Amino acid sequence: MQTDIERIYATLLDRDYQQILFGNLEGFEKKDNSYIARCPFHEDELSTLVIYGDRPEYFCFACSARGDWLQYMQMKDGHSFFHALAILGDASGIPAHGYDKGRWDDELLRCIVLQHVLGYFNALLFSRQAEEVLHYLYKRGYTVSEVEGSSLGFFPGFNTMHEYLVSGGFEKETLNEVLNVLWNKEVENCPLVIPYRDTCGRLMGLYGRDITLSGEDAYIPLTDVTALSDVPYLMYKSRAKDEVILVEGFFDALLMDQIAEKPVVSIGKGGLSRGMLDTLVSYGTKHCILALGSSDIQKKATIDAAEIIHSTGIGVSVLPIEGKYSDMDEFIRSTSIKHFKKLLGKAHSFQEWKNMNLS
Ligand SMILES: [Zn+2]
């Protein structure tokens, strides 16, 4: 279930609300997919404040001020939490009734801790200790720029991460309270980090990949991910898009997101849940293209997914992946982006696909 705040943020992001909320700052201008401006929280001539384009957050490279829009409105304009929330609720047309400030405080702190460690993990991925992980990614066929564009990271172990957070100024007691709830301390051998964002782009969880294993068992949550169970992976990039490609794995989605020119989400090995479908529909998806793979299990998942999608009245078609390629990742690696684009043009209606595959 998406929270009201998540829905408000998602709606306002789709309307480029950054321009209204931050547009009065000196030096405010668009830079790539984000905005920059002079930071209101410290004296400076330079534009050191980044206002992200794809999530409701800001960060100052000089004074490290960071938070979400509600935090900004409280810090900068002195609004109370509820007043700030009412302003955003009005602007989005989604009233946030009865929202608990304690819950928002917890979520914000969680996001801030996760963003902080992800920045560290991203940098570590290109260090010597991550050699094996990088080798694994390159062997899988990723190029350097694809790895850089994917925001993957390297997990150096819990204790090293903890030391890093303490040295970053997080107060020990608060930090331990957050990590006790958030972090899955049992997991040590999952060096490849995959960030998982909620529907408005806030970093709400991390998965780890054990590079010595294959298949579903290789992916283990490094953090609590219960809040993300109804959120298809990369959903925040697919809001308000009529047509979305559904793939199985994280890596299929990460790769295709960089090349497909169409929004793509991953639904995992478990197939498309009702909750995930509801999320897609509630954020504007009108047509799903299934590209779940060619094995018998994946065909079964395709049929199950197509049937529940169909029951909601939205359109569904299927990409005909040849049996010799297990999934989209492998298909693209073994052929080319050109072939993939051609394949996209050949999507079958579900009925056509079913006739071909079950006869
Ligand atoms: Zn600053």
For the chain, which residues make up each domain, given as ranges?
4-97, 103-227, 235-358
Residue 5: the pLDDT is 93
- The string of pLDDT tens digits covering residues 120-170 is 999 999 999 999 999 999 988 888 888 888 899 999 999 999 999 999 889
| Domain 235-358, CATH | 3.40.1360.10
Q: Burial letters for 132-158: b for 16+ Cβ neighbours within 10 Å, e otherwise? A: ebbebbeeeebeeebbeebbbbbbbeb
- Distance (Å, whole) CA 25 – CA 29: 9
Phi, psi of 20 (to 5 degrees): -80, -45
Query: Ligand 1 center to residue 12 CA distance, Å?
Result: 24
Confidence of residue 241 (pLDDT cuts 50, 70, 90): very high
- pLDDT number for residue 247: 93
The pLDDT of residue 55 is 96
- 258 CA to centre of ligand 1 in angstroms: 32
In the block, tokens 């955003």 appear at 88
Residue 223 pairs in a beta bridge with 183
Q: Are 222 and 132 in contact (CB under 8 A)?
A: no
pLDDT given for residue 359 in this prediction:
60
Question: Would the pTM of this model clear 0.85, i.e. be above it?
Answer: yes
Ligand 1 geometric centre to CA of 56 (Å): 17
161 CA → ligand 1 middle, Å: 25
* Collapsed DSSP state (helix, strand, coil) of residue 114: helix
CA distances from 52 to 37, 47, 67, 200 (A): 11, 14, 11, 12
Architecture of 4-97 per CATH?
Alpha-Beta Complex (3.90)
As a whole number, mean pLDDT of residues 63-92 equals 96
Q: Report residue 52's pLDDT band, with 50, 70 and 90 as the boundaries.
A: very high
| Coil vs helix vs strand at 41 | coil
71, 76, 82, 84 alpha-carbon torsion, rounded to 10°? -90
Answer yes or no: is pLDDT of 358 > 80: no
Beta strands in 210-295 (DSSP E): 219-221, 243-247, 264-266, 287-291
pLDDT of 19-51, one tens digit each?
999 999 999 999 999 999 999 999 988 999 999
* Cα of 317 from ligand 1 centre, angstroms: 48
Q: How many other CB atoms are there within 10 angstroms of residue 21's CB atom?
A: 20
List the Cα angle 342/343/347 in 5-degree steps.
125
Domain at 103-227: CATH architecture: Alpha-Beta Complex (3.90)
**pLDDT number for residue 329:** 78
What are the backbone dihedrals phi and psi of residue 204, each rounded to the nearest 5 degrees, phi first? -115, -10
Least-confidence region, from 88-92, 95-99, 111-115: 95-99
Segment 72-85 shows an average pLDDT of: 96
Reading phi first (left if > 0) and then psi (alpha if -120 to 50, else beta), residue 67 is in left
Q: How far apart are CA 315 and CA 123, in angstroms?
A: 41
CA 75 to centroid of ligand 1, rounded, Å: 12
The pair of structure tokens assigned to 353 is 């696909």
| Average pLDDT of the residues in 98-112 | 91
- Ligand 1: centre distance to CA 44 (Å): 8
At 200, the pLDDT band (50, 70, 90 cuts) reads very high
Helix or strand holding residue 349 (H, E): strand 348-349
Ligand 1 centroid–CA 170 distance in Å is 18
What does pLDDT average to over the chain?
92
Question: What's the 155 CA to ligand 1 centre distance in angstroms?
Answer: 28
Residues in the chain: 359
Q: What is the C-alpha separation between 174 and 355, in angstroms, rounded?
A: 58
For 279-301, how does the pLDDT look when each residue is reduced to its tens digit (9 = 90+)?
Answer: 999 999 999 999 998 888 888 99
Matching fold, domains 103-227 and 235-358: no
DSSP 152-181: -EE---HHHHHHHHHHTT--HHHHHHHHHH
How far is the centre of ligand 1, averaged over its atoms, from the C-alpha of 66 (Å)? 9
Confidence of residue 261 (pLDDT cuts 50, 70, 90): confident
User: Using one digit for the tens of pLDDT, what is the confidence trace for 309-348?
Assistant: 999 989 999 988 888 887 777 888 788 778 888 888 888 8
